[in-house]
A and B are shown apart, each in its own frame.
Chain A
Amino acid sequence: SQTIHQWPATLVQPVGSPLSLECTVEGTSNPNLYWYRQAAGRGLQLLFYSVGIGQISSEVPQNLSASRPQDRQFILSSKKLLLSDSGFYLCAWSVVGGASDTQYFGPGTRLTVL
């Protein structure tokens, strides 16, 4: 069966510090991968998606970047965090060319920027 991991679970960082959040998927190959941010427990905003190694698409301009160095690894980064980067970050995967767009989510990372 497929599983998706995210770490760390929580993170408190000062403004201006760098960020690296990691997401890995097990039990599937060549998945679509997604990074979302959720503010105040409400709607999800799609930040990045990837259809393959090294292929990253950004949905909104921002202080963050993403990379996919391996097939089942997705990394969210920032060189200098802003207060507005605080939120709940969710990674998800879906089957490439699947019959549906169903996404499977990780447990999330709670980021607080002080």
Chain B
Amino acid sequence: SQQGEEDPQALSIQEGENATMNCSYKTSINNLQWYRQNSGRGLVHLILIRSNEREKHSGRLRVTLDTSKKSSSLLITASRAADTASYFCATGAGGTSYGKLTFGQGTILTVHP
């Protein structure tokens, strides 16, 4: 079964607005990552946050992690039409897990110009 569950399943906003996506997971993790997928393409790594971190920034992206609640959020500020894509969270166990990740079901983000 999928470890990560994203919420909402779909999000529709206007250009310039902020977009927030949430991810919950069930077991202990070493890190949590967010990926982006444009329609019909492969996934692209966006940002990684480790289990001992609470917040991380990269450009217009802000990720938070609450290990006590087993949840994470991805905030995209000042969204653009080009941000339209599916966004997935993925959890990694680290150690001897051979780099395996468990992906959530994703949030489909549509940004209207």
Contact = CB atoms under 8 A, between A and B. Distances in A.
Contacts of A96: 99
Contacts of B90: 103
A106 B94 CA distance: 22
B41 interface: yes
B10 to A, nearest CB: 11
B99 A105 contact: no
A56 to B, nearest CB: 12
A102 B33 CA distance: 8
A94 interface: yes
Nearest to A95: B99
A107 interface: yes
Nearest to A6: B42
B41 A98 contact: no
A61 interface: no
Given A101-B30, A101-B94, A102-B48, A46 B100 contact: yes
Interface in B80-113: 86, 88, 90, 92-94, 97-106, 108
B67 interface: no
Contacts of B31: 100-101
A92 B101 CA distance: 11
Given A104-B45, A110-B40, 8 more contacts: A32-B98, A41-B108, A42-B86, A43-B106, A92-B42, A100-B92, A105-B42, A107-B41
18 contacts: A34-B99, A41-B86, A41-B108, A42-B86, A43-B103, A44-B88, A92-B42, A100-B31, A100-B33, A100-B48, A101-B33, A101-B97, A103-B43, A103-B45, A103-B90, A105-B42, A105-B43, A107-B41
Interface of A: 32, 34, 36, 41-44, 46, 49, 51, 57, 88, 90, 92, 94-96, 98, 100-108, 110
